[in-house]
Amino acid sequence: MAHITDLGVTELRDGIAKGDFSAREVAENFIAATDAGKSLNSFITLTPDHALAKADKADKARVAGTLKPLSGVPLGIKDLFCTNGYRTTAASKILDNFIPPYESSITEKLFSAGAGMIGKLNLDQFAMGSSNETSAFGNVISPWKRKGDNVDITPGGSSGGSAAAVSARLIPAATGTDTGGSIRQPASFTGIAGIKPTYGRCSRYGVIAFASSLDQAGPMARSVKDCAALLEVMAGFDPKDSTSIDVAVPDWEKLLSSDLKGKTIGIPKEYRVDGMADEIEKLWQHGIKMMQDAGAKIVEVSLPHTHYALSAYYIIAPAEASSNLARYDGVRYGERVTPENGNLVDMYSATRAAGFGYEVKRRIMIGTYVLSAGFYDAYYIKSQKVRALIARDFETAFQKCDLLLTPATPTAAFGLGEKQDDPLSMYLNDVFTVPASLAGLPAMTVPVGLNEKGLPLGLQLIGKPLDEQGVLNAGLALEERAGFTSLPEKWW
């Protein structure tokens, strides 16, 4: 039999139910793996007590015949989700010692469904970044290496800890959040699957806010099926989040089908961007063939405003961030710095100067600038108009097709430090993920192959609002045909 840490969420769930192994064994094996994988720096806080307590509960539930959908499955939780009684930092010094007195709705749902928590995962500070290099708790290192050199590779960001830990088999799956690509880009950099559902599917209650009109939670896991099983638990109406959608959650896992007969897949021509690597173009063509093989019809579609998506995102997201992060003033949360002979304003300034990292400060400055009286119309309002046009582009495209197939990222993962001094080239990473975020659409990335250097590459599927099933089904069709089984060589 495979080693326990080789198993994913649904395999663990089914194995526990059948009695192939106990939930305690599962938890102990993954706790040992996280200990052995410490050099990847994927966790900020380890919580083995939580995982073990949940495991013992699961083993009792098995005997009593009261197993729940995720009983005994240990998960990693991105350290952006508030966890009652467990430190939650957003990877920032300003929340270094913050212990939430309440539970996020997503973790509440996961834990009520029987899942345990192995630890809180590292991320880009306040989820701002594409490489996990903005964390105040150090870079996360991808378990993958480029062939021919020993340079540390980024796992992507902002859910870099989630991606690294899942791909290194330290945990079977993790939660992520995605504001402009933070589930999809790291998943595709590390050879795992991840889905960002329709905006409003997953509650944002208790998820530390970055850009509220964009933030969505979702699962990152080893297979499309595992993503479906987790998303079923995570999604659902929540009266505590005013943007939560009150619609039923389908049985995504049960309804999975990789038969795409009768489906039309759109290929947006504007996603063929300048400077896109040849290997990405090849991968995309390969994906198109796999979709045809699954029975889908392929059409070319146009999303004419794609070109403006990144600029609009990097105005709207910082604008919302600057407003959301105003609450960290040294009075109510975490860190406080009190300069000698200083007044209240001096305390605010000193606290924020010491507590926030450079990227967070950059975003707050950009955000306050674009919201300032003199520039509001020129930047913020203009971006909102562009956002509406981008959403309309998708609506028009979806009159001709059911789903869109695009690359996940313009390149494979890069080396740590290679882009850190060049924010623009860092922001370019998000060119394929940001449009679906601006339009609030469900989108998923699936690993499809390795590049010449042996690093994973993924493709993205974008669906109509609330059509997670369509996205998951096409994801499954890709997964089955790509047969991506590569794993990073163990060096940690």
The residues annotated as belonging to the active site are: 78, 158, 182
Q: How far is the CB of 339 from ligand GLN (least distance, A)?
A: 31
3-state secondary structure of 159: coil
Total count of residues recorded for the chain: 492
What sign does the CA torsion over 291, 463, 231, 76 have? positive
Nearer to ligand GLN, 318 or 449 (CB): 318
Please answer whether residues 164 and 434 qualify as being in contact, where contact means their C-beta atoms are separated by less than 8 angstroms.
no
What sign does the CA torsion over 268, 271, 273, 278 have? negative
Q: How far is the CB of 187 from ligand GLN (least distance, A)?
A: 12
Distance of CA 347 to the CA centre of its chain: 34
Interface residue list for ligand GLN (CB under 6 A): 127-130, 158, 178-182, 210, 317, 430
Q: How far is the CB of 332 from ligand GLN (least distance, A)?
A: 23
Rg of the chain (C-alpha set): 21
Nearer to ligand GLN, 81 or 210 (CB): 210
Q: Which residue is nearest to ligand GLN (CB)?
A: 182
Q: How far is the CB of 196 from ligand GLN (least distance, A)?
A: 9
Nearer to ligand GLN, 208 or 265 (CB): 208
Please answer whether residues 235 and 113 qualify as being in contact, where contact means their C-beta atoms are separated by less than 8 angstroms.
no
| E strand map for 269-313 | 297-301
Nearer to ligand GLN, 129 or 465 (CB): 129
Q: Tell me the sheet residues that pair with 407.
A: 459
Nearer to ligand GLN, 72 or 157 (CB): 157
Query: Nearest-5° angle of CA 376, CA 379, CA 380?
Result: 65
Q: Where are the alpha helices (DSSP H) in 325-373?
A: 344-355, 358-371
Q: How far is the CB of 126 from ligand GLN (least distance, A)?
A: 8
Q: How far is the CB of 209 from ligand GLN (least distance, A)?
A: 11
What is the distance between the alpha carbons of residues 159 and 220, in angstroms, rounded to a whole number?
A: 9
Residue 303 backbone class (left: φ over 0; alpha: ψ -120 to 50; beta: rest): beta
For residue 439, give the H/E element and its range.
helix 434-439
Nearer to ligand GLN, 182 or 190 (CB): 182
Which residues are CB-contacts of 474 (< 8 A; sequence separation ≥ 6)? Answer: 260, 263, 265, 291, 294, 296, 403, 405, 461
Q: How many CB atoms lie within 10 A of CB 6?
A: 13
Q: How far is the CB of 80 from ligand GLN (least distance, A)?
A: 9
